[in-house]
Amino acid sequence: MKINLADKLYYSIGEVAKAFDVNTSLIRYWEQEFPIIKPKKNKKGNRYFTPEDIKNLQMIYHLVKEKGYTLDGARIALTTNSKISETVTIIDRLEFIKAELQKLKASLADKDSE
C-alpha cells in the first residue's frame, strides 16, 4: 500500500488515518494493541506520529488488512519476523513498478489505436 504523506517530523492522527484510508478510531485502537506504535502526545492529548510510527503502522496495515492476519497473529509476526519491514518495502516498490508499467501499457495502446 502506497501512502501519500509529505515529509514531516510529525503527523496528526487525521493525516495518518486519511493516508491509510481508515478511521481515526482504528489508529487509536492499533496504538493500544501494538506496543511498537508510540505517538507523541501534547498536553491536550493530541497524538503526533513520527515517520517511524508510520512505518510500523504500514507493517500492521499490511499484515492485518492485506494479508488477513488476526491482531494476535500480526503481533506475533512483528515480534518474531524481523524481515517484515523489508517485505513491506519491497511490496511498495513492486506496486509502484506495476503502476508505472500499466501507465506505459496504456500509453502504448493509445498510440496503436491512432
Per-residue pLDDT reduced to its tens digit, 30-47: 999 998 999 999 999 999
Q: Do residues 59 and 85 touch, judged by C-beta distance below 8 A?
A: yes
Predicted pLDDT at 31: 94
Predicted pLDDT at 2: 61
Check: pTM over 0.95? Answer yes or no.
no
User: Where are the domains positioned within the chain?
Assistant: 11-80
What are 9-19's pLDDT values in tens digits? 999 999 999 99
Domain 11-80, CATH 1.10.1660.10 — does that match? yes
Other CB atoms closer than 10 Å to residue 57's CB: what's the count?
26
